[in-house]
């Protein structure tokens, strides 16, 4: 019988950061380059509930959304396949998520200033937390509140001046070799 090899502990590449920081786009680029599967936790939730994030916030409220997010995110983190995990901006506020992500993944914070985030998000209606009076103030407050949690990441990359491709490249080259090896599913060209 072939022994089941234990899962590598830090096997995933986890992208954290505020909405608008580019986690999904950078994740897609990294997945394309490496051949590793991409799991976007917002998409997991939408598929599981067959509802958009906006509708879920309306129907459930934020507290119940966070419980759903926790259950699906923690399940995804326990998968043994090395994966690129792109997380929702608020995932880090839930202690169980932080425990699972930091234990199973190499965590990369895509840091962006409130000004850059606002420029990218001001015309966007898919972020329920910004559908309220003074969305710019809310965004700035969320950055301030979450920054200490984000800064606990294994790698911090400021993306204010970077394109998606530049951010993906910078992350990939700075990853520890063992992690890159685990994620790289592309057959090397002879
Ligand atoms: C949220 C960010 C969103 C989504 C939800 C809540 C947040 O994900 O999970 O709207 O609390 O910052 P993105 O960061 O992918 O936009």
Alpha carbon distance 173, 13 (integer Å): 13
88 lines ligand 1 (CB under 6 A): yes
- Look at residue 77 and give its three-state secondary structure: helix
Question: Average per-residue pLDDT in the chain?
Answer: 95
Residue matched to tokens 């294994």: 154
Nearest-CA neighbor of 131 among 42, 54, 49, 46?
A: 54
Alpha carbon distance 37, 172 (integer Å): 15
pLDDT at 189: 56
42 lines ligand 1 (CB under 6 A): yes
Q: H helices of 78-159, where? A: 95-104, 114-121, 135-150
Contact 55, 129 (CB under 8 A): no
Average pLDDT of the residues in 172-177 = 96
Predicted confidence (pLDDT) per residue in 118-173, tens digit: 999 999 899 999 999 999 999 999 999 999 999 999 999 999 999 999 999 999 99
- Look at residue 105 and give its three-state secondary structure: strand
Reply yes or no on whether the pLDDT at 4 is more than 90. Answer: no
Cα-to-centroid distance, 90 and ligand 1 (Å): 6
Average pLDDT of the residues in 167-190 = 89
Considering the chain, what percentage of its residues have pLDDT values greater than 70? Answer: 94
């Amino acid at each position: 019988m072939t022994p089941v090899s234990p899962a590598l502990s830090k096997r995933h590449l986890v992208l954290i950061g505020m909405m608008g920081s580019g986690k999904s786009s950078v994740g897609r680029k990294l997945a394309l380059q490496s051949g590793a599967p991409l799991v976007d936790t917002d998409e997991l939730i939408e598929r599981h509930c067959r509802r958009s994030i906006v509708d879920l916030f309306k129907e459930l409220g934020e507290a119940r959304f966070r419980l759903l997010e926790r259950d699906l995110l923690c399940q995804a983190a326990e998968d043994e396949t090395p994966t690129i995990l792109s997380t929702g901006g608020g995932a880090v506020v839930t202690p169980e998520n932080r425990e699972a992500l930091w234990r199973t993944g190499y965590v990369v914070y895509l840091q962006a200033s409130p000004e850059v985030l606002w420029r990218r998000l001001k015309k966007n209606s898919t972020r329920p937390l910004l559908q309220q009076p003074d969305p710019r103030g809310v965004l700035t407050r969320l950055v301030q509140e979450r920054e200490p949690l984000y800064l606990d990441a294994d790698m911090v990359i400021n993306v204010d001046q970077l394109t998606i491709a530049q951010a993906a490249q910078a992350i990939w080259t700075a990853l520890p070799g063992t992690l890159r090896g685990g994620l790289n599913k592309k057959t090397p060209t002879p």
